[in-house]
Structure 1
């Protein structure tokens, strides 16, 4: 497709000159991990809230500064493209008003010190929490140990101005210490990552890190920080450079940081907001007293199926989710996994309709969702998305047959391409060097399942039937 970029870069001044003024709302939300998903989901819900004019967002990137640079040059504005099977709907999202690299802990401290800041939302991915199995900080991790030392030094120095922690939660604690010292009121911290009991995990991780670094801060966090649990759902793939040009040609604005997402979006929250929050209900969010069933529905059905397709689909030569779900073997494997999962979910969640909607969403070929992207950190994802279902099935003396193939496909994918281990590459390399790599990998995934002779034999049988070629990526 031939594209000619327009002369005007997206900015508030350019929009105002074109007769489309979008004033910057006051910053009352801080977001850590301001990637594409946060902009398609939390920021979009905020922009669609009835009181959006009162809720601006200051965003901080995770590692690099590229996204911050691109967004800052556009005053935080970006184009959100809802890509349905039949066409696109575009909008400019105005509520992200400041964007900083994650290293700008001074800016984070200033934002959290401000008494008007009421909410912190985070999308730092499963591995970003750097916690042990019990939810406490992983003090065997040298990066975590270095951050604890930096936080201690900041506490001893009083201002924290020279501290440069690198993990998201340590950076957040540094900002919360600035808030404590400023006497600012309590606030809510909202985890939007795909983790069970993500608010509880966040509280345990923050409290444990604070106890290690600054007991006074730990006591304050316990009383002044409400950790809210959520279930988030919107497929938001990475986009390629060619799509940036196509979006600019379609909208008339040179936007260096557009986001493409499916039309579907869902957000369920559970917890207190002591300093207030946007009217997210008016944008379609729901608030519940028990988040667990909604978390499990999303983790086990949507995310579990994605993790299965990432391995099995790649082994079968597919590149995207849409390609894989069109393969009858992959579709059947997804349905079997879901059959196992729904036996452990309560009524009232609309599960048959949710399953039908997921198939339609997966089949949307206009959403290019690469399997290679989903496969990143698959070990952690399987532990959260498939292992809990398998262990529940086995505890009830059922075969967990729907869970066997996701496990076997991951083992086959790792054995075909050891470099695909992601953050767990060292652990996976040790398992691959064991006398029986499949057993060692299964043990790495779940010691309980590895010790279950029947389940292990089923995995080994499935492994023998899988393609042995290198995964497609």
Structure 2
């Protein structure tokens, strides 16, 4: 049995996406199995941290929980798009409604802990709530500013969707008939920076790290992990690879990844020793066959990922008159993806049209960074690399 890092705390869980999951967890007394998959047999534990589970539509219970002074913090994962959406019952509206109820009930302070995969997620949440509350009474808005803290986090662990095979594995390894197992990889990282006015669980007992500033760690994750994933997602399929573990075993892609990490390290803020250790852990993680991380799943929303993961390093290199091959490869692979595949991206229609034009490289670059599009040497090199990648599979 795996218990929460601090048994004095419990989780009231809400989901706004899956109406069946809260019912399943309630029938299982809040228990579920965690399957950690490396290269051998999964390591399985039963988790008992959920005190109760509710569907997101249980508005009365949601408001009561957020109003309760016994609730000290709210963790949430709503995706990047969720922070931009306001109105018609969006996640931000639900959080604001809960905070409004808390204010009315006495105004106990609370910490909000977003766990979405985007830089400065605490400040992103603060800004989204401020925009949503702009027409609220001044007293409530003042309380939001003075009594609600926003904790920045970096969360990193691959957790693919559960399958029926995972359900069968849970029963086989634990004897527990679990219909809500969670499958994950051995690697995990959770970094937090911020204040918890009513206290917090001892998450550090389970490996969480509390730091004063997350900026350097966010940069490391975006460039080294996410940047490498993006590079593989667009070059791997061109060279016949379907998953991350296949890609890092391909000699050309393995060389590109090492070169990307070398390039990013020249501009990263953390000490060299920290970066070297992180690279070693990433390589072991990428090579694991326990989690089949599909490249085309990573390839979605390139218009959001390329600017955050690849372009900062590319700009730094171009300022020194260098043309880093791995960044060129990522852009060339993205161009091929836009031309040849079914594209899942909020700007898909626009980008596909641009990519298929005669001067597609320049046009696509212009859509994400006008200054780079004016860099003729870069545009020519990207065009040439498209041909190089295509020749590599002939």
Pick from 74, 82, 89 the counterpart of residue 120 of structure 1: 74
Query: CA 1:77 to 1:184, structure 2 compared with 1: closer, same or farther past 3 Å?
Result: farther
Q: 2:360 aligns with which of 412, 437, 444?
A: 437
Alpha-carbon contact 1:195-1:384 (below 8 Å) kept:
no
**Partner-residue secondary structure (3-state), 2:336:** helix
Deviations 1:86-110 (A, max 9, x none): 3321111111223333344433222
Structure 2 Cα separation of the partners of residues 310 and 407 of structure 1? 11
The verdict on how the C-alpha distance between 1:250 and 1:337 changes in structure 2, with shifts beyond 3 A counting, is: same
The alignment status of 1:220 with 2:143, answered yes or no, reads yes
Whole-angstrom CA distance in 1 between matches of 2:333 and 2:278 = 25
Q: Could you say what secondary structure the match of 1:423 adopts? A: coil
Per the TM alignment, residue 273 of structure 1 is displaced from its structure 2 partner at its CA by 0.7
Q: How many Å apart are 1:444 and its aligned residue?
A: 2.5
Q: TM-score, normalised by structure 2?
A: 0.91
Distance (whole Å) between structure 1 residues aligned to residue 136 and residue 381 of structure 2 = 46
Contact 1:188-1:273 at 8 Å conserved across structures: yes
How many Å apart are 1:292 and its aligned residue? Answer: 0.9
Is 1:353 matched up with 2:277? yes
Question: Structure 2 CA distance, aligned partners of 1:434 and 1:220?
Answer: 53
Alignment partner of 1:394 is 2:318: yes
> Do the aligned partners of residues 182 and 468 (structure 1) sit closer, same or farther apart at CA in structure 2, a change above 3 Å counting?
farther
Of 196, 199, 208, the match for 2:119: 196
Alpha-carbon distance in structure 2 between the residues aligned to 1:53 and 1:93: 12
Aligned to 1:165: 89
Contact 1:315 1:468 in 2 (8 A): no
1:259 has 2:170 as partner:
no
1:332 aligns with 2:286: no
Secondary structure of the structure 2 residue equivalent to 1:87 = coil
Q: Which runs of 5+ in 2 are unaligned?
A: none
Q: Give a deviation string over 1:155-178, Cα, whole Å, max 9, x none.
A: xxxxxxxxx512x22221121111
Of the candidates 98, 101, 112, which is equivalent to residue 175 of structure 1?
98
Match 1:371 to one of 295, 315, 333: 295
Cα distance in 2 for residues equivalent to 1:331 and 1:455 = 23
Partner of 1:88: 42
Q: Separation in 1 of the partners of 2:38 and 2:354?
A: 42
Q: Check the 8 A contact 2:361/2:379 in 1, yes or no.
A: no
Whether the 8 Å contact between 2:362 and 2:379 is mirrored in structure 1 is yes
8 A Cα contact 2:230 2:306, kept in partner: yes
Cα displacement (A) at 1:382: 2.1
Structure 1 residue 359: Cα displacement: 0.7
- Say if 1:435 and 1:399 are closer, same or farther in 2 by CA, change over 3 A: closer
Which of the residues 67, 70, 93 maps onto 2:24?
70
User: How far has the Cα of 1:68 moved from its partner?
Assistant: 3.2
Q: Which moved more, 1:446-455 or 1:186-195?
A: 446-455
After superposition, the Cα gap between the structure-2 partners of 1:275 and 1:362, relative to the gap in structure 1 and judged at 3 Å, is same
Give deviations 1:232-290, integer Å, cap 9, x for gaps.
Answer: 22222224322322222222122111111112211111111111101112222211111
Deviations 1:359-378 (A, max 9, x none): 11111112222223322323
* Equivalent residue, structure 2, for 1:318: 241
Q: CA deviation at 1:433?
A: 6.7
Alignment-derived partner of residue 100 in structure 1: 54
- Return the alpha-carbon distance in structure 2 between the equivalents of residues 467 and 382 of structure 1: 21
Q: Which residue of 2 aligns with 1:184?
A: 107
The counterpart of 1:404, out of the listed 318, 328, 339, is: 328
Pair 1:260–1:408, CA change in 2 (3 A): same
Quote how far apart the aligned CAs of 1:63 are.
2.9
Q: Deviations over 1:180-218 (max 9, x none)?
A: 111231111112222122222222222122225665543
| Structure 1 residues 324 and 452, CA gap change in structure 2 (3 angstroms) | same
Q: Is 1:301 the counterpart of 2:224 in the alignment?
A: yes
* Whole-angstrom CA distance in 2 between matches of 1:107 and 1:455: 56
User: TM-score normalized by structure 1?
Assistant: 0.76
